[in-house]
Structure 1
Amino acid sequence: MSNTEIQLTRHVAATPTKVWAVLTDLDAAATMLTGVIGTERITGDGYAVGTRWRETRKMLGKEATEEMWVAEVEPEHRTVVKANSRGADYTTSFTLAPNGAGTDLSMTFTADPDRSSFLARVLMKVFGRLGAKATEKMMAQDLRDIAAAAEAS
């Protein structure tokens, strides 16, 4: 079964430096991102490869907590965050590209069901469209929230 992939881009009327500062402020995520209820650091200070945290979100009317980690960092250009939960690997990439006086912020999300889990593959096929729509809506809100915080700073 192939990956589920969603990609969105939003122009932010702020410099890459300001967007990066908002994007990588894990400790303030719950106050900046509408969908995030709370975060709890597990390892690491600041924002670097290997930093781990638990993030609690409300999605489809239910709270869910996932352990996430920073997998790649190119300051002010790109970062990749990963998670593994319920039989699937999740990857979220953020890319920042200067555009005039602002920044084009792209967010790409992929979900790859564990090849060894028959149940995960079946669930992904049955609920994939519903989950993809909900995820796309959440991503769009995250991009709006990041833009608002960066533009206000």
Structure 2
Amino acid sequence: MTGSSVAVERRMAAPPQRVWEALTNLKGMERTLKGVTKVEVLTPGPFGVGTRWRETRRMMGKEATEEMWVTACTPAQRYVVEAESHGMRYVSEWDLRPDGSSATTVRMTFTGTPTGRPNLLARLLGRFGAGAVRKAIAKDLDDIAASVERAGV
């Protein structure tokens, strides 16, 4: 069974380096993303391939914690995060593209692929969840834009 993907783009009035810093500042994630209630960094050192953390989010009125890890990273340009939960493998890809001298277009692509026989939750998310996922990604991108645009003032 193949996965399904959702991609959302957002232009931010901030240079790529400032956007990158906001996206990869795991210890500041709770202040940047309104949906994130807790982040526990599990690995020492700078953000890069192998960085792991647990992120707790409030979605659809409930909190859920997932462990994530970075599998690809090109500073100020792109990184990929993976997670596995409830019979699904999730891949989040963040791409930053300079847009003029002081703006950045960020594209986040989220893909969910069953790791075995999908359970009821996985089937429901596959069928009905794309809109909710798209909305959550757009909200995260809005939160990041607000943070980096405010920092530039």
TM-score, normalised to structure 2, is: 0.92
Name the residue aligned to 1:142.
Answer: 140
Name the residue aligned to 1:99.
Answer: 99
**Are the equivalent residues in 1 in contact too, given 2:87–2:122 (CA < 8 A)?**
no
Distance 2:128 2:59 in 1: 11
One-letter code of the match for 1:145?
Answer: D
Name the residue aligned to 2:18.
Answer: 18
The SS at the match of 2:70 is strand
Name the residue aligned to 2:112.
Answer: 111
One-letter code of the match for 1:79?
Answer: Y
Written as runs of structure 1 = structure 2, the 5 A alignment for 1:36-115 is 36-100=36-100, 101-114=102-115
**Are the equivalent residues in 2 in contact too, given 1:50–1:70 (CA < 8 A)?**
yes
Name the residue aligned to 2:35.
Answer: 35
Distance 1:83 1:131 in 2: 17
**How much has 1:41 moved relative to structure 2?**
1.0
The SS at the match of 2:128 is helix
| Structure 2 residue runs without a partner (length 5+) | none
**Are the equivalent residues in 2 in contact too, given 1:19–1:146 (CA < 8 A)?**
yes
The SS at the match of 2:138 is helix
**How much has 1:92 moved relative to structure 2?**
0.3
Aligned length: 150
TM-score, normalised to structure 1, is: 0.92
CA RMSD for the aligned pairs? 1.3
**How much has 1:123 moved relative to structure 2?**
3.9
Name the residue aligned to 1:3.
Answer: 3
Distance 1:88 1:128 in 2: 10
**Are the equivalent residues in 2 in contact too, given 1:57–1:64 (CA < 8 A)?**
yes
Distance 1:123 1:70 in 2: 25
% identical aligned pairs: 45
| Structure 1 residue runs without a partner (length 5+) | none
The SS at the match of 1:43 is coil
**How much has 1:25 moved relative to structure 2?**
0.3
Residue among 116, 131, 136 paired with 1:133: 131
